[in-house]
Amino acid sequence: MPLPLERIRDALMAHYIRDEGTIYWVGTGRMTPFLQRLADAERDGLNPADYPVDGLIALRDSIEPDDAFAAAQAELYFSAFFVAYAADLKIGRLTPQKVDPHQFRNRKTIDVLRVLTDLKTQRDPTAFLDSFESKNPHYVALKRMLGLYLAMAKSDVWPDVPQGENIKPGGSDPRIPAIREILILGGDHPGGGSGETYDPVTVEAMQKFQQRHGLEAKGLIGKQTIVALNVPPDERARQIMLNMERWRWMPEDLGDYHYTVNLAAYELYEVKQDDIIDRMDVVVGAVATQTPEFTGEMTYVEINPTWTVPYSIATKEMLPRLRKNPSAYAADFDVFNNGKLTSWGGINWNAYGPGKFPFTFRQHPGPKNALGKVKFMLPNKHNIYLHDTPSKDKFLQTARAFSHGCIRLSRPIDFAYTVVGGIAGWSKAKIDATIAAGKTVRVPLPRKIPVHLIYATAFESPLGIEFRPDVYSRDRKLYAALFGKPAS
């Protein structure tokens, strides 16, 4: 059989022959609305070029009353592509890990025979397709925003703003009218105003625009802001589509109470019944040590944790210093040789290197500990967890990709009050006293808390839709896989 039919041959045989399923397409008037849905696939965040609309139209138009073969062929093809489109809506076009090695989502599945069986109960094929779309509020919001950006793209009125000197609030610049127009089109500016003066209303609108795009929101119009202003709505629409695909990969049920870490936005969200009840700035992995995307479960918390140094850090960062000063870390770390505690004295560090390094370093609890006063464990094969840090300066920056992969929290003690207090039932006084005692204490959680690590470069917030730069180049890879060429 042709490939589109061969892929679901067993289900087609079961439905049409074994179960004597009803003829859904031929002679029912349902082909045309389905073809229109395929032609409008962009509105669903999919690529219309992925679907053979012209070929299906030809099949529809080739049906003759006395040609049973052509009718059967059309029936099977329309069912096959209906199933394919339903699957694309429900589980996504792509297998996550084939797109990016840092993506660890299990490929979801769809019950093909169930789709075919349920067709007979659905009068309207487009309404039936709607039922396959995610009900996740993030996905729903993105689809709504996609419609707005597609409409803006068709209007073809997006001004171009050339680079130049920085524009300060109160200053004057010939680019201000174009900038004001973009802010109005994007919903950041209430409208009105004219001239080349960077007036207070436009400054306030610019600050909102900068917030929505993850830029320093002081109103100063510099190079990065100009770059963001010049991204046309059709490109933003594609960015929204990429993020809709990512949400299709996500679990259907995120958990009534869960945490989400948006790596692209450097934020952690506490979520209850789909409402974000708290936000926190975080530091995530640097470009060279990217934090992966996966879903885990927080099972315990360590107060005053020790830190076992990863092999790569021990050999690449600590070993060169030890070669110069063998006691450089003796005050704050224990050293283990093949798992056995040993002394720092007498080790010839020049004799060891990557590939020949039997040592493990473990940092004592205390003010210098890399994990700070508390860490939150979601056991996983990537050895990723959430933790405090003694290095607070990174939180002052807008872009916060600096860690070796784990997630540093800007308000870890507040997070401990929420998790250890709210979930494990400890009082603030008990938490504070345990931290002050300086000894490592593990606090098991009576219930597991889902934690979702995502990479969302387009998402809804109280400000409207927010966009983030593609710091890990994951949008670029996904764009190439979905649309056949890299993003500009």
CA angle 185, 190, 194 (to 5 degrees): 85
Q: Does residue 488 sit in helix, strand or coil?
A: coil
As a whole number, mean pLDDT of residues 92-120 equals 93
Q: Tell me what pLDDT residue 488 has.
A: 43
Residue 68 lies in a domain: yes
What is the residue range of 37's domain?
3-133
Q: Are 116 and 12 in contact (CB under 8 A)?
A: yes
Which pLDDT value is given to residue 331? 93
- One domain for residues 272 and 393: yes
- Indicate the pTM of the whole model: 0.93
In angstroms, rounded to a whole number, what is the distance separating the alpha carbons of residues 29 and 63?
13
Number of compact structural domains in the chain: 3
Query: Which among 133, 161, 192 is the end of a domain?
Result: 133
Q: Is 10 helix (H, G, I), strand (E, B) or coil?
A: helix
Q: What is the pLDDT of residue 157?
A: 80
Residue 333 lies in a domain: yes
Q: At which of 349, 364, 379 does a domain end?
A: 364
* pLDDT tens, position by position, 465-477: 999 999 999 999 9
pLDDT of residue 485: 66
Q: How far apart are CA 237 and CA 149, in angstroms?
A: 6
Pair type for strands 407-409 and 458-461: unpaired
Q: With respect to residue 214, please indicate whether it lies within any of the assigned structural domains.
A: no
Mean pLDDT of the chain: 95
Q: In the prediction, which pLDDT does 487 show?
A: 45
Residue 139: inside a domain:
no
Task: Tell me: pLDDT of 346 over 90.
Answer: no
For 268, half-sphere exposure in the C-beta direction (CA atoms, 13 angstrom radius) is 23
Phi, psi of 258 (to 5 degrees): -155, 170
pLDDT in tens, 30-57: 999 999 999 999 999 999 999 999 999 9
pLDDT at 193 over 50: yes
Residues 223, 196 contacting (CB under 8 angstroms): no
Report the CATH number at residue 406: 2.40.440.10
The candidate with the shortest Cα–Cα distance to 183, out of 172, 198, 170, is 198
Distances in whole angstroms, Cα of residue 289 to Cα of each of 29, 285, 371, 409, 472: 55, 5, 17, 17, 10
Scan for tokens 């439905």, then name that residue. Answer: 15
- Tens digit of pLDDT for each residue in 479-488? 999 998 654 4
Closest CA to 31 of 3, 61, 70: 61
Asked whether residue 410 carries a pLDDT value surpassing 80, the answer given is: yes
**Domain termination residue (choose one: 332, 349, 364):** 364
- Give the mean pLDDT of 90-112: 94
> In the chain, what's the furthest Cα-to-Cα distance?
94
